[in-house]
Amino acid sequence: MLNGQLLEEAMQRACVIARRGPADTPNPQVGCVLVDAAGRIVAEGWHLGSGTPHAEIAALATARARGVTDFSELTAVVTLEPCNHTGRTGPCVAALKAVRIGAVAFGSTDPGALSGGGAGALAAAGIPVKAGVGKLSTDVLRSDWLRRVGGGSKTGNLGGAAGADALSRPYTIAKWAQTVDGRAAASDGSSQWITGAAARADVHLRRAAADAIAVGTGTVLADDPSLTARGVNGELLVPAREQPRPVIFGKREIPAAARVNSHPAGAPIRKHGTDLLKDLNELKAQGINTLFVEGGPTLISALLALNLVDECLIYIAPALLGGKRHAIGDIGVESIAEIKRFSAVETRQLGDDLLVRLVMKEALGVYGAD
C-alpha cells in the first residue's frame, strides 16, 4: 500500500475527474485512478452515468489499452467504495479481483444495502484495502447524490444518510497564505510570493477539484489573478471546460483587460457581496457545489464572521513580516466565549512551508455521513 501522502494526492486527482460525470442522475459521480508503487498515475476513469461502465471499470480498460497486463503492483484509488452487486453493470469488486489488483484505497463508503460491502469482499479475497482516504473531500462529492436519491430508490436503502439538514449553499473553502506571525502582505502591500513552489502547486491541485474560485474586487485590482488551475509550467491542469468558474464579489468595476475576463471557463460570475448567504445560495443553484475562496482578507473575514466557511486551508511560511497586513481581520469574535472552533483535520509539510487544514465541526456533521 502506498504511503498516506501519495494516496491523498491520488485521491485529489480522483475527485477532479469524478466531476466529469453527470451530477443529475441516480448514480453518484465517481473517479478512479490507478497508480504504481511510486505514486505515478497509470490510468484513470470516471463514471459517465447510468448504464455506463463504473469508474473502476473505465480505468482498468484504459490501462489495458495502454498495454498494462500486470496489475499486481498497482493501487486503485477510488472516491467511493467499489460496488459489490450486479445492476445495469457488473460489480466493480469482481473486476478488481479478476485482474488481481495490488491494493484498493477509497474515500467514502457506499451506504447502499445492495451495492455496499465492497471493502469487505475485497479484503476477504486477500486484497489490501484502505478506507477513508481524503474522506471529507469525497463525502462532499457524494453529498448531492445522497440528497438526490433520498431514503431509498435505485441505490438500495440509504436510510438517513443523506441528512435532512444538508447545506443549501456550496461547501466553502477559504484559502490563504501567511507568515508565521499571521501577515498576508508586507507594509507596501506586496504579497507574491509568501510561500514556496510546493505550496503553490498544492493550491492549484485543490483549485482543480473545486467548481468555482472566488475573490473580491480588491484582489482582482491588486493582483490581476487568472483564477485558473495550472501546472508548474503554467499549463492548464484540467481542460478549459473543466476549469473552476471564476466568481468575483464586490461592486467595483474591474478593468476590461483583467486576466479573469479571459478565463477559459467563461466570463466571471459577479456578486455584490452585500448578502453573502443569498449570494452563496444562488451559486449553489447555478450548480456550484464547492467554492474555493482565495481572498482577499476582507472577503474571507466576512464569510468567517457569518459562519459561511466550512474549511480553511492555511499555508504558513517560516517567515516574519510584522506590520498591519493581517491575513484575516474582524470575524465577529468579541470574547473567548465566541471563539470559532475548528477540527484540525490535516497538517502537511510542503517544502519549507506548512499546510494546516481546518474543518468546522458543523461541516463534519453535515458531510460526514458514515
Residue type (1 letter), 105 = A
102 to 6, 9, 72, 99, 258: CA distances (angstroms): 15, 18, 4, 9, 48
Q: How far apart are CA 132 and CA 127, in angstroms?
A: 16
Q: Give the three cell numbers for residue 156.
A: 438500495
DSSP state of 108: E
Q: Which of 208, 269, 289 is nearest to 241 (CA)?
A: 208
No. of H helices and E strands in the chain?
10, 13
Choose, from 8, 44, 56, 294, the residue flagged as catalytic. 56
Phi-psi region of 51 (alpha: psi -120 to 50; beta: other; left: phi over 0): left
Q: Which of 276, 268, 227 is nearest to 248 (CA)?
A: 268
Half-sphere exposure of 220 (CA within 13 A, CB side): 27
DSSP state of 32: E
Contacts 24+ apart (CB under 8 A), 257-264: 258/220, 258/224, 259/224, 259/225, 259/226, 260/220, 260/224, 260/225, 260/226, 260/227, 263/226, 263/227, 263/228, 264/228, 264/236, 264/240
Q: Which residues contact residue 212 at a Cβ distance below 8 angstroms, ignoring those fewer than 6 apart?
A: 170, 244, 245, 246, 247, 269, 283, 288, 290, 291, 292
Which residues on neighbouring strands pair with residue 293, listed in sequence order? 174, 214
Query: In the annotation, is 56 catalytic?
Result: yes
Q: Give the three cell numbers for residue 22.
A: 453527470
* Catalytic residue list: 56
